[in-house]
Amino acid sequence: MSSRRHAMDPKLDSLQATQGRLILGPELESGHELLDREHRELFALGNAALEALARPDSSRPAVHSALDALVVHLVRHFTDEERVLAQCGYEHLEEHRRAHKALLARAHELEMHAEAGTISITELAEYLAHDVVQMHLVKTDRLFFPSLRAQR
């Protein structure tokens, strides 16, 4: 089985349903302008990285630079989000910071795999669709939406 196969893991329902693209649903709108804009950009950069890897003429530098842009954005977004959460006195901030740290550690691993030319579309799709979108944005980020709304 090729490591570059485009077949998705069965648990990646959100990706399968959207033919390999991450789609940001309305349930992910927090109402906070900056954070929502950054979440949209995160989806765009995630899709760009998936596309760079899925292209038949995919090249190591193209994949690496798409992943790098994604990681730079993740770092900025997590910093901004933690600042906003600190300002509104979010009670689970420390736990949230730890979740961001773990996501970044995994992103750096993927970057190393991209550099070595061993990254697979399945591993990148699983990270983006499962770790970042389903487990973090949908589950963990949504927990702070009420705290943000209560502030306004």
When the beta carbons of 113 and 141 are compared against Fe ion, the nearer one is 141
Q: What is the DSSP letter of 130?
A: I
Residue closer to Fe ion by CB (options 119, 137) is 137
Q: In a 10 Å sphere around its CB, with 0-12 CB exposed, 13-18 middle and 19+ buried, how is residue 66 labelled? A: buried
Look at residues 92, 126, 97, 123 and name the one whose alpha carbon lies nearest to residue 110. Answer: 123
Task: Count the site residues for Fe ion by CB under 5 A.
Answer: 2
Size of the chain, expressed as the number of residues it contains: 152
Q: How far is the CB of 152 from Fe ion (least distance, A)?
A: 18
Least Å distance between CB 27 and Fe ion?
14
Nearer to Fe ion, 8 or 103 (CB): 103
Where helices occur in 58-130 by DSSP H, the ranges are 60-87, 93-116, 121-125
From 14-22, 49-57, 73-81, 86-94, give the range in contact with Fe ion by CB under 5 A: 73-81
3-state secondary structure string across 6-33: CCCCCCCHHHHCCCCCCCCCHHHCCCCH
Is residue 47 close enough to count as binding Fe ion by CB under 5 A? no
Query: Between residue 90 and residue 119, which ones bind Fe ion under the rule CB under 5 A?
Result: none
Tell me if 85 contacts Fe ion by CB under 5 A. no
For residue 141, state whether it binds Fe ion (rule: CB under 5 A).
yes
Q: Can you give the binding site for Fe ion, defined by CB under 5 A? A: 81, 141
